[in-house]
Structure 1
Amino acid sequence: MNSLIPHQYIAMTAHLPEHCQPLAADEKFCFACHPGVTCFTECCRQLDLALTPYDLLRLKKRLGLDSGSFLEQYVIVAWEEGMIFPACFLTMIDDGRASCVFVTDEGCSVYDDRPAACRAYPAGRGASRRADDTLAERFVLLREPHCLGFAEQQAQTAPEYFQAQGLTEFNCCNDQLLSLFQHPQIQAGFRLTQAQMDQYIMALYNVDFFRQEMADGRIMMKRPLSVLELRALAGDDEELLLLGLRWLLQEYFGETSR
């Protein structure tokens, strides 16, 4: 099974997946992927690919689908003992190789809107908020035996590679979620009920349904909406993700600040 690292969700601990090694922010590594590399698209098969909320936002827009339709057609929602939040995985084709639904012989058919884990491969990034609210980053490098891209001579650091792969927008959006993932009550042992898990999927993944529920008054913030939040209800999906995050903080922990 290939191990695309769920970008942004690397635990800030010493425990790393197989074939992973720590990577300093200023440490260069040689890697490039292109059709001339003989293992081209192999990392798109035998794959578990976790999707972040922003991943789904980009993909559903690319395909011209509403979020509910995308979830129904392309996503498996999973939760098992020990997980705090449910995870959304991209479905794979039953072709004997568990290939990504978007991979072709020529490469990725949604390349400009590919998920963050695909962009970051073979590197990964973990992030956390320090006590002073500054961001701490951790980088890793995944050297899987099948990958021949390391024989290429293009050298870069992880931050340089991520910028070249268009990860800036993904990181900015994903880092906002740290206020939920690393909330003090989560760290103190708070765990979601089934109803709260359903809220999580609705607010961060089924965003079109969340927008309609809020616009129709079936769910609401316990304070007036800001101009940006009203814009979210009018159609700004990126602002809608932030509104969904604030709504979850309200529903889980009673927080109502903007």
Structure 2
Amino acid sequence: MSDSEKKADIVPVRLGRSSGFQFECHKGVSCFTKCCRGIDIILTPYDIIRLKDKLELSSEEFLAIYTEPQLYEKTDLPVVTLKLLDDEIRSCPFVRDEGCLVYDARPTTCRYYPLGVGNLSHGEEGGDDDKDFFFFVNEPHCKGFEEKKEWTVESWRKDQGVDIHDEINAGWADLIVRKRSFPPNVQWTPKAKEMFFMACYNIDAFKRFVFESPFLTKFDVDEAMIEKIKTDDLAMLEFGFLWLKDVFFLKEDENKTFKLKNQE
């Protein structure tokens, strides 16, 4: 059988939130932790906040030690991937034979497994089962599908806490979807990509940018919001998403969140 014939036999199954499946992962499953090796994981903005807080690191320290910057091919936007160990099986730096050292702060992709997400609009509140696109990550070694516990896609998302991750990351997903709709010849400057990277992934650097540059003298920001983002990383993250949307995706005549001072 040729490679093309083999590929023709693999029919992707599109799942919605109400789709059902059987799965369970625990230490008694023979393949336990094998899915944590030889992987490519894009970290979301909320993943980075959770992990750097878990490890008691600044965002700069976490990014330098545990991540690698990449360009997302479909958008030419910077994304962050988890840096794997330089061993024969490319292990996750946080996995041990007995399990994950950062399990309660594990990334969104890990929470979704054995599901994958086929679009970036799943963070919208309420959702639409006709528009949502999930699929199984079918790895030959995985024995979790032989377990008897039953789920729907939606109940799995809630059980794994990934619904909260999607809600917090929705602004970031919206930015990526907006950029993906641009014509291929519309490219951002390196400086624009740096700003996107900082606001989305390096929350400590973005906080310094807001409070230690002329930012607040240029934009009219509510005093209550200023006080909130000083200490709340999630508020600062949402603040950054809104600012990026204003600066890079909205036209001058559109209703922007950030108004220039002394300007109607």
TM-score where L is the length of structure 2: 0.82
More helix as a share of residues: 2
1:81 Cα offset (Å): 5.4
Quote the RMSD (CA, aligned, Å).
Answer: 2.4
1:225 Cα offset (Å): 1.4
Tell me which residue corresponds to 1:257: 257
Q: Structure 1 residue aligned with 2:213, among 217, 225, 229?
A: 217
Q: Structure 1 residue aligned with 2:54, among 50, 58, 62?
A: 62
Could you say if the C-alpha distance between residues 251 and 107 of structure 1 is closer, same or farther in structure 2, counting changes exceeding 3 Å? same
Q: Report whether the alignment pairs 1:226 with 2:242.
A: no
Q: Deviations over 1:82-130 (max 9, x none)?
A: 443112011111121110000011100000000010011011233438x
Q: Report whether the alignment pairs 1:22 with 2:14.
A: yes
Q: Deviations over 1:40-89 (max 9, x none)?
A: 00010011111000100100010111101111111100126544311201
Structure number with greater Rg is 2
Q: Name structure 2 gaps, 5 residues minimum.
A: 1-9, 259-264
Indicate conservation of the 8 Å contact 1:123/1:142, yes or no: yes
Cα distance in 2 between the residues matched to 1:179 and 1:188: 13
Cα distance in 1 between the residues matched to 2:224 and 2:116: 31
Cα distance in 1 between the residues matched to 2:219 and 2:154: 39
Other structure's SS at 1:101 match: coil
Could you say if the C-alpha distance between residues 29 and 64 of structure 1 is closer, same or farther in structure 2, counting changes exceeding 3 Å? same
Could you say if the C-alpha distance between residues 160 and 81 of structure 1 is closer, same or farther in structure 2, counting changes exceeding 3 Å? closer
Structure 1 stretch displaced more, 74-83 or 141-150? 74-83
Indicate conservation of the 8 Å contact 2:42/2:80, yes or no: yes
Query: What is the count of residue pairs matched by the alignment?
Result: 237
TM-score where L is the length of structure 1: 0.83
Could you say if the C-alpha distance between residues 219 and 144 of structure 1 is closer, same or farther in structure 2, counting changes exceeding 3 Å? same
Could you say if the C-alpha distance between residues 208 and 97 of structure 1 is closer, same or farther in structure 2, counting changes exceeding 3 Å? same
Could you say if the C-alpha distance between residues 34 and 177 of structure 1 is closer, same or farther in structure 2, counting changes exceeding 3 Å? same
1:154 Cα offset (Å): 0.4
Q: Name structure 1 gaps, 5 residues minimum.
A: 1-17
Q: Report whether the alignment pairs 1:139 with 2:134.
A: yes
